[in-house]
Chain A
């Protein structure tokens, strides 16, 4: 089957790729562009490990087809740090030991950043419900929630 040519922007970089019509955005990121920071945990939109931003909206990239991102702007975990400067969420995940195996971590960070971008002062309950689409099997979420709250406080200058 003929591949589709797609022009997009990924982490601010103009990017082109060829993909088969049935390939998901997740497949494209990982297999065609080698952006493997975005993880596949389920392929059905239930675990959030493949969370990315498409035009500023949080999505599971396993539920988006490659050809659908024509002309769109995508942000992945690889674009979260600026050079050596980690995003406060990334730093707090480290300081607060909010990861164990780390495979869900990119998805959590992308989702948490999406939350703080729209709600800089979330309650614990709001953080828990916003992140309910991201599965973590190692941590019991305790330290993840604290890291997000602490990052939010730092970003507010509180």
Chain B
């Protein structure tokens, strides 16, 4: 628990990094003062609302908004006709693929509605009630088309085809007919046939997972204001205000210099706020009405039209020798992309077997369009489903051989300098350390009660670096402002303050970290890929080093000695070498006060493209108790071990691990998108889309293993995504030990488990 605020308490020569400081933005968040996406108001502001398709697949013959426009209080209506029809342009941004034409058509449907909830038109009116009323007056003439919801059904030759210009990429020969299969991907190496021939045990299984939503508590929200000269300001919550600026510019064919995006606090994202839904529409409405426009999604809209992650069908085959050596491993992953191509199946193909060092391995992935919302990134996007299938199969291999599941993993574990299953050679990694820590943890040896079982599973995520900018302004009184371009989604301001304090040698409480808007700091890629503490942290450290260099120069000037004869220690300049002791040290505060006389303000700035993000591994231990009468699964104990490189702020690292585990448990046991035969989502609300609540969970023991990442000044690795990868298999494997049934289909909800226990 907390070690209190203010006082440096840490080993390894570090004063601030690794302490549990109070987060600088904390008071605003416990008093209700913090401004989230929906909390911003402007004079004369209109309310925007979106008309959404009630059909899963329909041609839009015409849209008549005349009656809506005639309603008093309605100031603008927009459709795709108000947006440029931009050409297809594929890009890979951060962790996933992005086609800007598709993104445009996802914001406002063009020609066809591709899922229940697809935005078709939008209204701006003086009140929410009038806007709602106006939606009902917009007449859309739909030609309803046959739809397809299931991934394997969508791959059949006779399936309704969503796009007549999607021809499967990555197959030879290239198809001549369009289909729903957008892409085939493959990773791996070696000789599978030889590998399986050498195996003593071969296990082949099929798995399915359902789409799940990121489930952030804050719905998407923004305010857009376009002035008469086209200058556009957007306030809103997202994982990247520079992302909003770039995407709005791209979708609306604007110059980036015309757009300023001011970040609000973000109420959760988990990958789901890495693209735009409302922002371009709000800009169009504001441009057309001449007034600021606020748009806030309802929870139902969030479920029907944003996220989720892919539902999947996955086949896994693993062969191993009696001593536990895995001789061959293959998987085939079919991922739902939603209404537009672009699932995260490539990440699945890369991450699936990444925990293992394998001679013969292959994963084939299929990216498949279905009449569901366009998939968005969700925490380790693409990895958890493949991991569920593969780690469940690994568990069965261990059982068949009669070897402890941790020992089987230790026998085949990826290690530093080994070749990864997806190609490149790993550098310093800590997977084995997580396995050993799990095996030595008291949890692993603790006795189990009746109807209880223990499951093990591991997980991997790449983590990314990327572009970040930071600036540190030393104030006249010796305090400092640290500005970055990274939205703070879970306490990153605290980490930034700690790293800056470490370099500057001043109390972290004297540092004010802020998230600067797009006009006030250099380009910064979005908060995702577990990159902020690593990459933006590096920019902050580099900026702080520049400040220290200037402070030494100022001291050298005052003392009239060479700058090399000045050292910076414990927050003050000291004469060093032959000058040692000749002058009284000058503190940061002293030097800040004299800045005007010694050369002007002291600022440090850094902009970089961080390389060397250290991959992360985790190993989880889960105990469940099953109720044989109802099929209900209770998580009775959970321990998550993870290599975090170096925990800059241990409390928020633990928090990332605990939160990821909770989401994984929800994915395992309850969460799923439920569609009717009519292709409409039946559970677009928190009552029927059942996320874990406090009474569903035990305490989650987060065990941090620290194998430093040499690319980061303090050894940090990304930590946010790994923890959602292992839980589904850990829970499934525990259920097997408790009840004797393998559960290949998620969610492992009470009716499903009951049916399995009853042998149905």
Interface residue ranges, A against B (CB under 8 Å): 20, 22, 30, 34-44, 46-47, 49, 76-78, 80-81, 86, 90, 93-97, 99-106, 109, 125, 127-129, 131-146, 150
Contact = CB atoms under 8 A, between A and B. Distances in A.
A94 B22 contact: yes
Contacts of B491: 97, 100
A34 B41 contact: yes
A105 B685 CA distance: 20
A96 B2 contact: yes
Contacts of A44: 299, 685-687
Contact of B20 (A20, A35, A39, A97): A97
Interface residues of B, number: 63
Contacts of A96: 1-2, 651
B32 A128 contact: no
Given A99-B26, A101-B490, A139-B658, A38 B32 contact: yes
B215 interface: yes
B670 interface: no
A127 B694 contact: yes
Contacts of B218: 39, 41, 101, 103
B76 interface: no
B652 interface: yes
Nearest to B650: A97
- Most A CB contacts (10 A, CB to CB) among B129, B660, B662 go to B662
Contacts of A43: 298-299
Nearest to A80: B31
Of listed A101, A125, A128, residue having the most chain B CB within 10 A: A101
B267 A139 contact: no
Interface stretch (B357-365, B395-403, B674-682, B695-703): B695-703
B129 A22 contact: yes
Contacts of B186: none
A85 B26 CA distance: 14
Contacts, number: 194
A100 B32 contact: no
Question: Which 7 A-B pairs give the minimum distances between C-beta atoms?
Answer: A37-B32, A103-B267, A140-B662, A102-B29, A97-B651, A140-B658, A46-B686
A100 B693 contact: no
B686 A100 contact: no
B311 to A, nearest CB: 20
5 contacts: A101-B216, A133-B693, A135-B686, A137-B663, A141-B662
A144 B697 CA distance: 12
A86 B27 CA distance: 9
B266 A101 contact: yes
A142 B659 CA distance: 9
B654 to A, nearest CB: 8
Contacts of A36: 32, 35-36, 38-39
A97 B695 contact: no
A80 B217 CA distance: 22
B265 A101 contact: yes
Contacts of B32: 35-38, 76-78, 106
B215 A137 contact: yes
B661 interface: yes
A124 B700 CA distance: 14
Contacts of A104: 217, 267
Contacts of B661: 140
B4 A95 contact: yes
Contacts of B693: 131-135, 141
A145 B2 contact: no
A95 B217 contact: no
B575 interface: no
Interface centre among B216, B218, B663 (most CB of A within 10 A): B218
B694 A134 contact: yes
Given A77-B32, A94-B30, A138 B700 contact: no
A93 B27 CA distance: 10
Contact of A41 (B31, B217, B694): B217
A49 B38 CA distance: 13
B22 A95 contact: yes
Given A95-B4, A139-B659, A140-B700, A109 B30 contact: yes
A95 B41 CA distance: 31
B267 A101 contact: yes
A96 B26 CA distance: 11
Contacts of B41: 34
A90 to B, nearest CB: 4
